[in-house]
């Protein structure tokens, strides 16, 4: 196991009717900007719950943050923060609203002229404007981590950022919010969280016995609750386990002391940037090809996962490792998620080359747990995923 330092400062308030507790988490002298997405919270009653809970808190609102939060829209929100002397941000939404809020938390204190440089130059803010979240969609884990992914339509870019100053101060997780989520987004959430675990687990044996078992237990829980959540989002026990699994999949815990891959996400983000495909679906497109392409480097963990998560007990390491990839792809398909790029667009020719070229331009010469995956390798993996 590698050395590590781990601090996660986010307070989690989990359970039924916890949105009621909102006001007590926000400083009484704060001037709050409430941020939300395309309006789902106005239809499902979450907006009303939040407004009621906030009572007399001084509040301004900014709605319209789109899925895959868009830089230009966020600049509008930044203007409001500056003009209105906002001191505290409150995100009510899924990963997109929370990520957008994290960007604003950093941008509000950024001293340069062009906040895009936070993303472009890989700046890791030590401090941001404080913010809390009310999670409406379990998927990304953004509610308990310090990462954010921002899209710039103008240049078709989607870049990640993060830093120790960008953890939410608190996050309210009421599993009842999932009752209004469309089936497509529920399937996305399961797939995204599942792949987050794989990115931190499907590497090579590194002696992190506990981390491996944490990871496997999250995968097993997601597999167990997925059909229940899709069949009946009002099943509270299934919703609660789904929500907590998504948070635990990417709050840093399972990553400590072990190698991480994240190349699936790096390639997947390009597919969203180029074609607008839902984040989770890009992962389901890339992951099977990625694991096949890197089979030799990953086969021991693939076989361990096959045994412990999918109960594949017969055959050699290679047999089990192949079965692991097949089981994973079948799991995604069972959720209604297609696993080939050509299922999403007919204009896929040239995509692999474009992604390879972008990685070269950005100097991403060594992705993956061994930092040896070149832009040429990425090109081949994406091509396998056509
Ligand atoms: O915008 P509204 O109207 O709110 O509708 C949203 C949106 O259309 C809707 N929705 C959310 N909660 C709902 C609901 N509809 C009904 N009832 C509810 N309770 O769902 C749609 C998708 O929302 P979005 O926030 O985009 O989804 P998700 O949570 O999957 O977030 C995806 C974004 O997170 C980034 C992705 O790249 C993508 O931009 N990621 C962030 C990560 C992080 N910060 O750690 C890690 C991830 O790997 C990921 O990259
Ligand atoms: Zn993800």
User: What's the pLDDT tens digit per position in 219-274?
Assistant: 999 999 999 999 999 999 999 999 999 999 999 999 999 999 999 999 999 999 99
Helix 263-275 / helix 183-201 crossing angle, nearest 10 deg: 150
Please, where in the chain does CATH 1.20.1090.10 lie?
182-384
Which residue, judged by its Cα, is nearest atom 26 of ligand 1?
A: 67
Cα separation values, 177 from 43, 140, 212, Å: 12, 15, 30
Number of CB atoms found within 10 A of residue 55's CB:
9
Q: How far apart are CA 276 and CA 379, in angstroms?
A: 19
- Report the candidate in 75, 165, 85 with the shortest Cα–Cα distance to residue 128: 165
Q: Among the residues of 172-235, which ranges form H helices?
A: 183-201, 209-231
pLDDT of res. 39 = 94
Mean pLDDT of 185-209: 98
CA of 197 to the centre of ligand 2 (A): 10
Architecture (CATH level 2) of domain 11-176? 3-Layer(aba) Sandwich (3.40)
End-to-end CA distance of the chain: 37
* Per-residue pLDDT tens digits for 89-106: 999 999 999 999 999 999
201 Cα: distance to centroid of ligand 2 (angstroms): 14
Give the Cα separation of 160 and 147 in Å (integer).
7
**Which ligand gives the minimal distance to the CA of 151?**
1
Task: Give the closest residue to 286 by CA, choosing from 364, 348, 237, 240.
Answer: 348
Q: How far is the CA of 196 from the centre of ligand 2 (A)?
A: 6
Query: What's the chain's average pLDDT?
Result: 97
Band the pLDDT of 299: cuts 50, 70, 90: very high
Q: Which residue has the tokens 């899209």?
A: 151
Integer Cα distance of 190 and 140 in angstroms: 9
What pLDDT score does 300 carry? 98
Burial of residue 9, with CB atoms counted within 10 A of its CB: 0-12 exposed, 13-18 middle, 19 or more buried: exposed
| Overall average pLDDT of the 27-51 stretch | 97
DSSP 324: H
Residue in 140, 166, 176, 196 to alter for ligand 1 test, most ligand atoms within 8 A of Cβ: 140
The CA R_g of the chain, rounded to the nearest whole Å, is 20
223 Cα distance to chain centroid: 18
CA distances from 214 to 221, 237, 253, 279 (A): 11, 20, 9, 24
The protein residue with its alpha carbon nearest to ligand 1, atom 16, reads 181
Listed in order, the ranges of the chain carrying CATH 3.40.50.1970 are 11-176
Q: Is CATH 2.120.10.30 the right assignment for the domain spanning 182-384?
A: no
Residues 6+ apart with CB under 8 A from 349: none
- 3-class SS shares of the chain: helix, strand, coil, % to 5: 55, 10, 35
Lining ligand 1 with CB less than 6 A are 37-41, 44, 67-68, 93-97, 99, 136-137, 139-142, 145, 147-149, 177, 180-181, 185, 188, 192, 250, 265, 279
User: How many Å apart are CA 104 and CA 109, to the nearest integer?
Assistant: 9
Q: What is the mean pLDDT of residues 371-376?
A: 98
Q: What is the pLDDT of residue 376?
A: 98
Which has the closest alpha carbon to 289: 186, 379, 219? 379
Question: Residue 112 and residue 289: Cα distance in Å, rounded?
Answer: 40
Residue-wise pLDDT tens digits, 46-72: 999 999 999 999 999 999 999 999 999
Per DSSP (E only), the strands in 130-191 are 131-135, 147-152, 157-162, 170-173
> Confidence band (pLDDT; 50, 70, 90) for 134?
very high
Contacts of 186 (CB under 8 A, 6+ apart): 178, 229, 230, 233
Of all residues in the chain, the percent with pLDDT exceeding 70 is 100
């Amino acid at each position: 196991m590698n050395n590590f330092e781990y601090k996660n400062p986010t307070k989690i308030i989990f359970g039924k009717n916890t949105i009621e507790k909102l006001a007590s988490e926000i400083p009484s002298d704060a001037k709050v900007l409430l941020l939300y997405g395309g309006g789902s919270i106005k239809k499902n009653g979450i907006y009303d719950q939040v407004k009621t809970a906030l009572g007399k808190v001084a509040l301004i609102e900014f709605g319209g943050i789109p899925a895959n939060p868009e830089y230009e829209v966020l600049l509008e929100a930044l203007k409001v923060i500056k003009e209105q002397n906002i001191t505290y941000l409150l995100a009510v939404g899924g990963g997109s609203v929370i990520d957008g809020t994290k960007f604003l938390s950093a941008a509000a204190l950024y001293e340069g002229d062009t906040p895009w440089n936070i993303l472009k130059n890989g700046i890791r803010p030590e401090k941001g404007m404080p913010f809390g979240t009310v999670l409406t969609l379990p998927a990304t884990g953004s509610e308990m981590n310090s990462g954010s992914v921002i899209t710039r339509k103008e240049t078709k870019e989607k870049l990640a950022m993060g830093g120790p100053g960008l953890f939410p101060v608190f996050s309210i997780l009421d599993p009842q919010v999932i009752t209004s989520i469309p089936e497509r987004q529920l399937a996305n959430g399961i797939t995204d969280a599942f792949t987050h675990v794989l990115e931190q687990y499907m590497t090579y044996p590194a002696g992190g016995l506990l981390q491996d078992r944490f990871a496997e237990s999250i995968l097993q829980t997601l597999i167990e609750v997925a059909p229940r959540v899709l069949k009946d989002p009002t099943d509270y026990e299934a919703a609660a386990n789904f929500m907590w699994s998504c948070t635990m999949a990417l709050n840093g815990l399972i990553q400590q002391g072990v190698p991480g891959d994240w190349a699936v996400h790096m390639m997947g983000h390009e597919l969203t940037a180029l074609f607008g495909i839902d984040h989770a679906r890009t992962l389901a497109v890339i992951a099977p090809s990625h694991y096949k392409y890197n089979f030799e480097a990953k086969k021991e963990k693939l076989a361990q996962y096959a045994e412990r998560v999918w109960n594949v007990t017969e055959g050699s390491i290679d047999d089990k490792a192949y079965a692991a990839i097949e089981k994973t792809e079948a799991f995604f398909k069972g959720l209604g998620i297609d696993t080939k790029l050509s299922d999403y667009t007919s204009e896929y020719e040239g995509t692999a080359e474009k992604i390879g070229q972008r990685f070269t331009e950005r100097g991403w010469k060594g992705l993956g747990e061994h930092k040896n995956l070149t832009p040429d390798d990425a090109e081949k993996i994406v091509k396998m995923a056509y």
